[in-house]
Amino acid sequence: MTPRASKADFTKTPEFRLLIIAVLVFGLMSVLSPDRFLSAQNLTSMAFQFPEFAILALAMTITMMTGGIDLSVVGVANLSAVVAALILTQFSDPSMPAAQSAFWLSLAITAAMCIGAVAGVLNGALVAFFGLPPILATLGSGLVFTGFAIAMTGGSAVMGFPDAVAVIGNGQVWGIPVPLILFAALAVLLHLILTRTAFGLRVSMYGANPLAALYAAIDINRMLLKVYVIAGMFSSIAGLIIMSRANSAKADYGSSYLLLAVLIAVLGGVNPYGGYGRVIGVVLAVLSMQFLSSGLNMLQVSNFARELIWGVLLILVMVINTNALATLRASMTRSPR
């Protein structure tokens, strides 16, 4: 692998801090609720739960690395899922032979991914060619995608899929949950894209200094378009997992995932102003959040309180990461003189 220098001082990286946090949260929850948190059942159920929002967090990560954000990830996920669900319910039924339903399933998956890509092109075009601030462009487009999904379904859940659909969200391969495999594959893919391709390096560089990227004659528009297409396609994969696990698709599933995805990306050390982010950090943040979330669940903390905790966490992490605090600390150590 490439930079030997950075490996040597891994203990100084933000990712190491995250590793410690993940271990601490895991330890804390194990102590607070040893028989339930550490049970095999809970560990498996966690492995099924987190991939869907973790993949959304990966989508968030790549947009944040350009200094942007994608607030439409949940909208894209639901629209993709609804389109896939409509294809499945229209053209296939549970009594169909396996080969035939597999055909319709792959068609539905392809359609969902296309929706993700098209949504990404739209977001990317708004950001790159029209120069809209990503936060507003994707806030608006997210509402549009959700609106389409509502229009297609009348707001109710679409259900009644062939059995094959359940494999995506509930299946296991050699005892490993399929959603976990999907997440791992996407995480590795994104890591390779960001660190090993020309495109990935340009993403970091643009995020670090957009003006310098312009002066370095980088094709910024094409790069941004690709970034949002990747985010859109990742979101649609998350949407398919949600659909499979819920055995239905609805325009307003996973509404709490947006905040969670932003939180995980920021917690994972991705700089919301762009230029820095590592997939390993995001993965560790996902694990911490899942441990925290299951633990709180077992301690019977209400859902509202959980969202409150997430919100506080997000602000806290961002405050800790700002220079303001470092400056404050520096001035405190200077002041005794």
Partner 1 sequence: MSSDHDTAFIDLRAITKRYSGVTALDSVDFTVQPGEAVCLAGENGSGKSTLIKIISGVEPATAGTVSIAGQERPVLNPRISAAAGVMVIFQDFSLFPNLSVAENIAFATQLSKHKRFYKSAVTRDIARSALDRIGVEIDLDVRVETLPVAQKQIVAICRALAAKAQLIIMDEPTTALTEKEVRRLQGIIRMLKEEGVAVIFVSHKLAEVLEVSEKVVVLRNGKKVAEGPASEFDTQSLAHHMTGRDVPEVPPSDVEAGAETLMQVAGLTKAGSFSDISFELKAYEVLGITGLLGSGRTSVAKALFGLVAPDEGTITVDGQVTPTGDPQAASMARIGYVPEDRLTEGLFLSQSILHNVTIGRLDAHSRGGFLDMAGLVAEASDWLKRLKVKAPDVTAPVQSLSGGNQQRVALARWLSRAPRVLILNGPSVGVDVGSKADIHDIIRDLAGQGIGIIVISDDLPELLATCHRILVMRDGRIIDTLDGKSVTEDQLARRLAS
Residue 229 CB, shortest distance to partner 1, in Å, is 16
Q: Which residues, 6+ apart, have CB-to-CB distance to 12 below 8 Å?
A: none
Whether residue 37 contacts residue 30, with contact meaning beta carbons closer than 8 Å, is answered with yes
- Using the contact rule CB under 8 A, the part of the chain among 3-11, 42-50, 61-69, 119-127 near partner 1 is 3-11
Cβ proximity to partner 1, 163 vs 219, nearer residue: 219
Beta bridge partners of 202: none
| Interacting residues with partner 1 between 269 and 328 (CB under 8 A) | 275-276
Specify the residue, 35 or 334, whose C-beta has the smaller distance to partner 1: 334
Least Å distance, CB 62 to partner 1, is 16
256 torsion bin: left (phi>0), alpha (psi -120 to 50), beta (else): alpha
Q: Is 210 exposed, middle or buried (0-12, 13-18, 19+ CB in 10 A)?
A: middle
DSSP 175-215: TEEHHHHHHHHHHHHHHHHHHHSHHHHHHHHHHH-HHHHHH
172 binds partner 1 (CB under 8 A): no
How far CA 167 is from CA of 41, 106, 244, in Å, comes to 19, 12, 8
Q: Between 97 and 334, whose beta carbon lies closer to partner 1?
A: 334
Q: 239 or 269, CB closer to partner 1?
A: 269
Task: Pick left, alpha or beta for residue 247 (phi over 0 → left; psi -120 to 50 → alpha; otherwise beta).
Answer: left
Question: Within 13 Å and on the Cβ side, how many CA atoms surround 312?
Answer: 6
Task: Please report, as residue ranges, which positions from 34 to 63 form the binding site for partner 1 (by CB under 8 A).
Answer: none
Within residues 174-193, the interface with partner 1 by CB under 8 A covers 192
Crossing angle of helices 198-208/220-246, nearest 10°?
110
Q: Does 5 bind partner 1 (CB under 8 A)?
A: yes
Q: Smallest distance, Å, CB 273 to partner 1?
A: 10
Residue among 126, 149, 146 nearest 228 (CA): 126
Q: Closer CB to partner 1, residue 303 or residue 327?
A: 327
- Site track for partner 1 across 192-231, x = CB under 8 A: x---xxx--xx-xx--xx-xxxxxxxxx------------
Q: Looking at beta carbons only, is 273 or 320 nearer to partner 1?
A: 273
State the minimum distance, in angstroms, from the CB of residue 132 to partner 1: 21
Residues near partner 1 (CB under 8 A) are 2-3, 5-6, 192, 196-198, 201-202, 204-205, 208-209, 211-219, 275-276, 331, 335, 337
